[in-house]
Structure 1
Amino acid sequence: MAGVFEGVEVEARGLGVRGGHGWVYRHVSLHAAPGTLTVVTGEAGSGRTSLLLTLAGRMKPAEGTLTVGGLATPRRIRQIAALGLFTEVNPFDDALSVREHLQERLRPHGFLWRRRHPDAARSALAHAGLDPDALPHGDRTLTRELTRDQAVRLGVALALLDQPGLLLVDDADTGIPAGRRHEMWDILRGLADQGLTVVAACTDAEEATGVATTLLPLPVPRSPRLPRRPSSETTRGTTPGRRAPMRPRKESGDERPPPRPARTAQVHALAAHQGRAGRRDHAAPAVRRALPLVVLGSPGEPEPRTGGPRRGGPSRHRSRRRGRPAEHGGRGP
């Protein structure tokens, strides 16, 4: 890394990403030239992180157009864009040290590349403003021992090892004390001054106003309110699209129970049967005729056909359990 980066041009028009609960963000347009710092600001739920992931080729927009360095497909955009620390996307391994994270990031480049660039990790840490000597255990410090601003700087250093043309940093001010936020913005501004295209997201852009090339505020998208479902009382006896008139409220003394529905002949017969069943243990003959009960082997059962076993007859397995085997279709003892 020679210290001068080759930034790329970013052109987005009418971008929008739709999720399961509606639009995450919509109607976003921006232009970022090489060597500029674009700051995306917005509250939680405004889609800041999703917008950065879209610019990096990690999310596919539902509407709009996007070109990064003249490339339009997400697969090719991912080759020239690098992510800083995204807590929900590429978190650190708490069991690894700073040195181990740097070695893991350099491993995909191959052994020959590491030999040609022996100081690549040291140069990346310097551009990110992270001094290993200032850490508790040097570069052997575990990532869980880093402060928030040190973790963000390490994420920037790891992204610079990929030699990107576009750097994206999420939550650049989250969890960082107010006295150190301006240092983080100065670091990102310094990377942009060396030719890199930087897009960072934050919640408060007050301290980034003086260093940002472009400020892009994102409003929180409002999902359309669904109409309330009318109740059965308001829709009973009305035509579709018209609401039933409100009934006048009665006085407490005039309240009467609603009239009971008229009984049909079947309801009367059932009630009479239930009353007789409470006095006697057997069912009425009318109920027997209405609900016939078919029992296998009863006198009303048709005779089995000759030449074949009768369905439902005793099986050989059941006869053996009783100790008296019988052939299928035969009559038991």
Structure 2
Amino acid sequence: MPPAAGPDARGLAVETAGLSLRGPRGWVYRDARLAVPANALAALAGPAGSGRTSLLLTLGGRMRPTEGTATVGDRTLPAQARAVRRLTALGAVAGVNDLEPALTVGEHVGEALALHEGVLGRWRNRRARVRDALDRAGLDADPRTRAGDLAPDEAQLLGAALALIGRPGVLLLDDVDAGLPFDLQERLWERLRAIAASGVTVIASCHDPAPAGDLARIARLPGPHPERTPR
């Protein structure tokens, strides 16, 4: 059993009611249903085109739904999207906040420290602070490694480490099983459960939730709405 969240835990409960998003070609996702307690791990599962990424962006206050509402802690979407953006953080999401392949792991962390704490945050006890950030996410990588040389699971954990520097209440991760065999997916889900137990709610999208086993609450999105089928 994972350790309980500490006294400084900031994990927030997330719940949706009729949450839906319609685009020019039909429904991106429709009536998405989640009920995730604080400090829990949730697997948001669905096939390609089911709207997983868009739903994560909605829950992070970065995309406005067409219908329905969601609550993140005591804040409501879409009305309080700005406040929700301050309470949530995205891991590395393709096309949104990709890792820079040419930068090292340590350089990525240094940039994140500077962003959240000012330029002095980049340099103050830099080596120890970089290691602390990586340890919280469970990333055992040399800070001198370039992001482009990381394995897919390591890249996911680096994205999580960067997001956690801001101490969010909800961590949102996308396509966590992409490019990974079953056994590495299982290990990644175990690591994500440990992150949640440290005091943050984790919602991670995936194609297949089976490797998560009993570690995560499962929320499933159906395949693309017929109106979105390519002509």
1:180 corresponds in structure 2 to 184
One-letter amino acid of the counterpart of residue 56, structure 2: L
Encode CA deviations 1:79-137: one digit per residue, 9 max, x unaligned.
010011112211111221111111111112225656499744322211212113xxxxx
Alignment match of 2:99 (pick from 82, 92, 96): 92
TM-score in terms of structure 2 length: 0.87
SS in 1 for 2:155: helix
Measure, in 2, the Cα distance between the counterparts of 1:48 and 1:40. 7
1:215 corresponds in structure 2 to 218
2:3 corresponds in structure 1 to none
Q: Does the Cα contact within 8 Å between 2:43 and 2:204 map onto a contact in 1? A: yes
With over 3 angstroms needed to count, the CA separation of the structure-2 counterparts of 1:49 and 1:185, relative to structure 1, is same
Aligned residues: 218
Alignment match of 1:165 (pick from 164, 169, 172): 169
Higher Cα radius of gyration: 1
Moved more, 113-122 or 95-104: 113-122
Measure, in 1, the Cα distance between the counterparts of 2:7 and 2:91. 18
Measure, in 2, the Cα distance between the counterparts of 1:181 and 1:118. 29
Q: Does the Cα contact within 8 Å between 2:136 and 2:161 map onto a contact in 1? A: yes
Measure, in 2, the Cα distance between the counterparts of 1:70 and 1:194. 21
Q: Does the Cα contact within 8 Å between 1:3 and 1:194 map onto a contact in 2? A: no
**Percent identity at matched positions?**
45
What is the deviation of 1:3?
A: 9.4
**Aligned-residue CA RMSD (Å):** 2.1
Q: Does the Cα contact within 8 Å between 1:127 and 1:191 map onto a contact in 2? A: yes
Alignment match of 1:126 (pick from 120, 135, 151): 135
Measure, in 1, the Cα distance between the counterparts of 2:37 and 2:109. 29
Question: Does the alignment pair 1:103 with 2:110?
Answer: yes
Q: Does the Cα contact within 8 Å between 2:33 and 2:219 map onto a contact in 1? A: no
SS in 2 for 1:215: strand
Q: Does the Cα contact within 8 Å between 2:43 and 2:203 map onto a contact in 1? A: yes
Alignment match of 1:20 (pick from 14, 19, 24): 24
Measure, in 2, the Cα distance between the counterparts of 1:217 and 1:122. 35
SS in 2 for 1:78: helix
One-letter amino acid of the counterpart of residue 57, structure 2: L
Q: Does the Cα contact within 8 Å between 2:109 and 2:133 map onto a contact in 1? A: no
Q: Does the Cα contact within 8 Å between 1:68 and 1:77 map onto a contact in 2? A: yes
SS in 1 for 2:153: helix
Unmatched segments (≥5 aa) in structure 2: 1-5
One-letter amino acid of the counterpart of residue 149, structure 1: D
Q: Does the Cα contact within 8 Å between 2:114 and 2:121 map onto a contact in 1? A: no
TM-score in terms of structure 1 length: 0.62
Measure, in 1, the Cα distance between the counterparts of 2:172 and 2:7. 18
Unmatched segments (≥5 aa) in structure 1: 133-137, 226-333
- Between Structure 1 and Structure 2, the one with more strand by share is 2
**Large movers: runs of 4+ above 2 Å:** 2-5, 111-121, 221-225
Q: Does the Cα contact within 8 Å between 1:121 and 1:161 map onto a contact in 2? A: no
1:322 corresponds in structure 2 to none
Alignment match of 1:199 (pick from 194, 197, 203): 203
Encode CA deviations 1:205-228: one digit per residue, 9 max, x unaligned.
11113211x211110132359xxx
Measure, in 1, the Cα distance between the counterparts of 2:9 and 2:186. 22
Relative contact order higher in (CA < 8 Å, ≥ 6 apart): 2
1:52 corresponds in structure 2 to 56
Q: Does the Cα contact within 8 Å between 2:171 and 2:201 map onto a contact in 1? A: yes
Q: Does the Cα contact within 8 Å between 1:37 and 1:189 map onto a contact in 2? A: yes
With over 3 angstroms needed to count, the CA separation of the structure-2 counterparts of 1:215 and 1:157, relative to structure 1, is same
